[in-house]
Structure 1
Amino acid sequence: MSTPFLSVRDLKVHFSTEDGVVKAVDGLSFDLEKGKTLGIVGESGSGKSVTNMAILGLHDRRNTALDGEILLDGKELVTATERELEQLRGNKMSMIFQDALASLSPYHTIGAQIGETYRKHTGASKKEARARAVEMLRRVGIPQPDVRVDEYPHQFSGGMRQRAMIAMALVCDPELLIADEPTTALDVTVQAQIMDLLKDLQQEFGTAIIFITHDLGVIADVADDVLVMYGGRCVERGAKNEVLRAPQHPYTLGLLGSMPSLDGPVDVPLSPIPGSPPSLLNPPSGCRFHPRCAFAEKVEGGRCSAERPALEVVDGRGSACHLTSGQKRELFADYASARTH
């Protein structure tokens, strides 16, 4: 069995605050192969972005406790120095941020910002970096790249700014690309174009991609595998089609139930998940989803509130839930039936 390109094992990211310790990520494990896309989905505050900031080493070391293991092509990142991480960021691993306008400098041209990363990691001249920036803008589908390279972010539309961010992230041909909700602020037509662009570039470069989103519809379009996070933990993971067609955790089922279906009856009411995400300063005991779970009372002995369910993974498929397989088949089928009748 081949070694995964990215391997995360029992990752914990805890922040010290005036009010106490925030357990933003609390024991997360997953693998990612080259050329594959892992979709990480969950509500705001579930730990999605914190996980990936930890991979990139962008957390504040003064108030952040990082534990566990992050191996990128065999290189340990948890114990890496800032100098080592700087050599990897933008080169071997890169990130597309959600808000391109906030992430781009208004005082520098698009070409200068793309070229800066390229010069830092390759030692290229300004002329070579500008030529590389033009090439990357052409690759991401920006018209007249030799002209637009000298323009500023405010002269670009939202979709073009996001394309410029993708060009910047890919300028050094990184082997790992982290996309943090890169299409959230865009209209649906531009969203589709950006997702198609990422898939085309992945085929060209063989890049491993982590795609962070709260939108299962986006996951269905871009991901090979899905990791569902809740309260800083993974509650379900597996191949995209398996997770979306036959969820094995009540939270995943709830996320699907709160989305309209394009291939089902149009008059089926949506079923939002009751309550709010947990405070990670003082998270619930046991399963962190149990206060909002419609099935917690079906588990005998109050285990949901007392005992943390283990994430048992077999052939890449697993969920952290105390319900038995038989209970899930019965209860989840009844839930799905109620939505379609």
Structure 2
Amino acid sequence: MTTLTKTEDSPAPTGPDSFLSVRDLKVRFSTEDGIVKAVDGLSFDVERGKTLGIVGESGSGKSVTNLTILGLHNPRTSTVEGEIVLDGKELVTATERELERLRGNKMAMIFQDPLTALSPFYTVGRQLSEPYMKHKGASKKEAKDRAIEMLTKVGIPQPKMRFDDYPHQFSGGMRQRAMIAMALMCDPDLLIADEPTTALDVTVQAQILDLLKDLQQEFGSAIIFITHDLGVISHVADDLLVMYAGRAVERGSVREVMREPKHPYTWGLLSSMPRLDSSVDEALEPIPGSPPSLLNPPSGCPFHPRCAFRDQVPGTLCSDTRPPLGEGRAAACHLTAEQKQTIFIDKIQPRLR
């Protein structure tokens, strides 16, 4: 069942520049063990021509959020509440036929593993051409010409010859490039990239990231870039949303969040990253504990069972009360602004230098 609700706590839209607006999104799955709160009250905006990075550990709700935007959740086993507005079109209440017209045409996704996303039974050229013929009403020749053009743009060598190859004949980097070409075939206004460089070596990874930035400048697409790697996101995104246990815990520009993070979870993510100038014997500082079960998430702040600074908050505020995430540059944490500044300067900043 899919329902549409609004709450008084949902932030107001940020303005006319918001191309995609998500408000108080909640996605829940019915399982034999109970209800999984995969996304629990998420709000954000993406502007045209900008890239929003979404980071968090596995199970934080990143991929579920973006599959829901595309309408790829199973309505028989999931419940969706809230608002998803793409260029003025409400998606939560849209019919499957309306979503089919939008998918691949106005919005598209680059999946994490192209080997499983691409069908092994059809040539790469056919898989690129068919959506273009469906959405644009193009002839077979027009679709083939467009596919070869896009394979050229993403750097596939000898695109006319590779058009008739099958996915297993492409290398990992070439399959990822083909996935990008497929996503961009119909010039979508919104491109969702779900950890598109995870399985690639660092050289190919850098090439793919540069390619996405170049194509965004050419096509003017809004991009949502999902990853668990803050090092990657710092090079591709304009704004950053940090997710934990289905919620947004910190938001701001990439520069603001990377230079002066304000949430203990973000501190943990940054502190656990290796540095080029660190000694090979220097131990990383992992975040203690494990991500919570979304079947029975913690009360109050979802991060409080793993937070090293919860004893600086008086009483049981962290365990009893959910901290709000305000508008603009914000972090959902009960620590005062003065406490955050002191902790960051004394304990976090020295690890990041």
Q: Which of 199, 202, 208 does residue 194 from structure 1 map onto?
A: 208
Q: Which of 209, 230, 234 does residue 248 from structure 2 map onto?
A: 234
Residue identity in the other structure for 1:108: Y
Q: Which of 75, 92, 97 does residue 83 from structure 1 map onto?
A: 97
Is the Cα contact below 8 Å between 2:84 and 2:92 reproduced in 1?
Answer: yes
Calculate the TM-score normalised by the size of structure 2: 0.94
- Name the SS of the counterpart of 1:71 in structure 2: strand
Shift in alpha-carbon separation, 1:337–1:83, aligned structure 2, 3 A = closer
Q: Which of 59, 65, 73 does residue 51 from structure 1 map onto?
A: 65
Deviation at 1:331, TM superposition (A): 1.4
1:126 paired with 2:137, answer no
CA RMSD of aligned residues (A): 1.3
Tell me the number of residue pairs that the alignment of Structure 1 and Structure 2 aligns: 339
Identical aligned residues as a percent: 73
Calculate the TM-score normalised by the size of structure 1: 0.97
- Name the SS of the counterpart of 1:120 in structure 2: helix
The residue that corresponds to 1:117 in the other structure is 131
Q: Which of 326, 331, 337 does residue 325 from structure 1 map onto?
A: 337
Q: Which of 318, 335, 338 does residue 347 from structure 2 map onto?
A: 335
Residue identity in the other structure for 2:53: G
Deviation at 1:267, TM superposition (A): 6.0
Give matches, 1:149-228, under 5 Å: 149-228=163-242
Q: Distance in 1 between matches of 2:248 and 2:106?
A: 26
Residue identity in the other structure for 1:61: P
1:244 paired with 2:274, answer no
Deviation at 1:335, TM superposition (A): 1.4
Give matches, 1:139-150, under 5 Å: 139-150=153-164
Deviation at 1:215, TM superposition (A): 0.2
Residue identity in the other structure for 1:331: I
Q: Distance in 2 between matches of 1:121 and 1:339?
A: 51
Is the Cα contact below 8 Å between 1:269 and 1:339 reproduced in 2?
Answer: no
Deviation at 1:112, TM superposition (A): 0.2
- Name the SS of the counterpart of 2:262 in structure 1: coil
- Name the SS of the counterpart of 2:94 in structure 1: coil
Q: Which of 41, 54, 74 does residue 60 from structure 1 map onto?
A: 74
Deviation at 1:101, TM superposition (A): 0.5
The residue that corresponds to 1:272 in the other structure is 286
Residue identity in the other structure for 1:174: P
Deviation at 1:262, TM superposition (A): 3.1
Residue identity in the other structure for 2:216: Q
- Name the SS of the counterpart of 1:22 in structure 2: strand
**More displaced stretch, 231-240 vs 260-269:** 260-269
- Can you list the C-alpha shifts for 1:120-148, whole angstroms capped at 9, x where unaligned? 10111111111111111001011111111
Deviation at 1:197, TM superposition (A): 0.3
The residue that corresponds to 2:107 in the other structure is 93
Structure 2 unpaired stretches of 5+: 1-14
